[in-house]
Amino acid sequence: MKAYSLFKKDWQSELRTRYAINALAMFILVTISVIMFSIGNEKITEYLTGGLLWVVIFFSAMSGLSRAFVSEEERGTTMTLHLMASPSTIFSGKLIFNLLLVFLMNFVITFLFSILFSSFIIKNIALFAIAFLFGNIGIAISSTIIAAIISKASSKGTLYPVLSFPILLPLILTLLELTKYSMDGNSINGSSVEIFVLICYDVVMGTASYLLFDFIWKE
Amino acid sequence: MTDYTVELNWLIKYFGRRLIFDGINFSFTSRNIYGISGPNGSGKSTLVKIIADLISPTKGKVIHKYGDKIIEPEDLHNYLGFVSPYLFLYDEFTAEENLSYSASIRGIKFNQERSDFLLSELKLFDRRKDLVRGYSSGMKQRLKFIFALLHEPQLIILDEPTSNLDNSGKEIVYKIIMEESKKNLVVIASNEESDIHLCTEIIELEKFKKQTNK
């Protein structure tokens, strides 16, 4: 309940300041436009559009998801949070906020891909939905804990993607594989190993982040 | 009435290689006002931040007790009210929104009556529905007091409590400090003579450092 209240505060604040939503929306628009201009009239393969989808998702996440903690640090309200809630509440509240942002962002990106790229055809929608669900949870957890780490650093902008890349790489590779399978129309049973890897990633990252947050949060 | 105590056990703080203070050993108890004074850079704010568990000491520890119960660091925010010039509230919210969010994030019911009482006491009631962005620095300082006192904490830490306040603001704050010290523990870090004048006991940081360094 406390975490939900923190999420509500962040969401209300986001609606008033448009700190992350504007950055995400502009980034998605610009990136997809650049891809479309660079492709021109060329016909690209299904697999390539699947790959491009996760590239856009990765860099969009890098442009907007650090805001959960960076905005608090920049406005000087980190101490205010310290004085209101325990570290576990803060992490949970920020995670809920990033989960919502990731799902919103990825729905928009996937929708735009499906209407703008004719070769983006998913044959097994259920398999893609599973990958999408667990992939988004993984991205939200990783980006939240990395945002907490980099919020205290001086070069936040560059550090975020650099630190995120090795942490998100196993997730992105698994998601690429599952997107390929869903484009091929493979069954969910036939992709169970990758789905299991995805779930394990989420559980490991979630547990590690929850345990480490106390140390990261305190100056 | 249950007493709140804070024990500082041989606190040492370094920033890099620079020693801020060395071997602070002190005990605070309820129904007192303690002062922490010293020249600029002597570590007043650092010490209050350590007491509030916002930063860690290099060595030593701080023990918070409510009666016989030791307060764990993750629960300290429920017992603590903190005011300082480096504390910022959310500019995009109104005063009342800031207070109601702080209550819900703490997991307590927003006490409208107490909020209205404190807003009236600190002369912000008429501006309670205005965004904090439009407040003057003195009004923001008054709002910080309401933020610190709304949940009725047992430990009140005030770092430069009268900064940015006019004379009437100072008088209100002094009245609140005296009132709170009847049942709670108040710690003031300041150089202002009028602030320190309220204190029953004072830690002179610079003197203390010299004494322990001998």
**Residue % of chain A over a pLDDT of 90:** 55
CA A106, chain centre distance (Å) = 8
pLDDT > 60? residue B90: yes
Query: How many angstroms separate the Cα of B11 from the Cα of each of A195, B46, B191?
Result: 51, 11, 21
Collect all residues of chain B within an 8 Å Cβ-Cβ radius of residue A5.
101, 104-105, 107
Asked if A12 and B93 come within 8 Å (Cβ–Cβ), the reply is yes
pLDDT value of position A99: 94
Mean pLDDT of A169-190: 92
Contact (CB, 8 A) for B98 and B146: no
Q: Does A118 touch chain B (CB under 8 A)?
A: no
Residues 137-156 of B with CB under 8 A from A: 147
In the predicted structure, residue B115 carries a pLDDT above the cut 90: yes
pLDDT tens sequence across A83-98: 999 999 999 999 999 9
Rounded to whole angstroms, the Cα distance separating A144 from B159 reads 32
Angle at A164 (CA atoms; ends A161, A168), nearest 5 degrees: 130
From B63's Cα to the closest Cα of chain A, the distance in A is 17
Rg (CA), chain A: 18
Mean pLDDT of chain B: 90
Note whether B2 and B185 are within 8 A (CB).
Answer: no
Rounded mean pLDDT of A32-61? 89
Does the structure show a pLDDT above 80 at A76?
yes
Q: Is the pLDDT of residue A50 over 80?
A: yes
List of chain A residues whose C-beta atoms are within 8 Å of the C-beta of residue B97? 12
B119 within 8 A of B128, measured Cβ to Cβ = yes
Bridge partners for A86 per DSSP:
none
What is the band of B213 on the pLDDT scale with cuts at 50, 70, 90? very low
Around Cβ B213, how many Cβ atoms within 10 Å?
A: 10
Q: How confident is the model at residue A219 (pLDDT cuts 50, 70, 90)?
A: low
The pLDDT value given to residue A74: 85
Quote the distance between the C-alpha of residue B15 and its chain's center: 22
User: Is the CB of A6 less than 8 angstroms away from the CB of B105?
Assistant: yes
Both tokens assigned to B51: 């007491």
pLDDT(B212) > 60: no
CB-defined contacts A:B, below 8 A: 72
Q: Which of A160-164, B54-58, B113-117 has the lowest mean pLDDT?
A: A160-164
Please indicate whether, in this complex, the C-beta atoms of A79 and B54 are within 8 angstroms of each other. Answer: yes
Instruction: Report ipTM (2 d.p.).
Output: 0.87
- A40-65 average pLDDT score: 87
Whole-model pTM?
0.89
What's the mean pLDDT in A188-215? 93
SS3 B193: helix
Apex B5 CA angle, B146 and B121, nearest 5: 20
Q: Around Cβ A110, how many Cβ atoms within 10 Å?
A: 17
How confident is the prediction for chain A on average, in pLDDT? 89
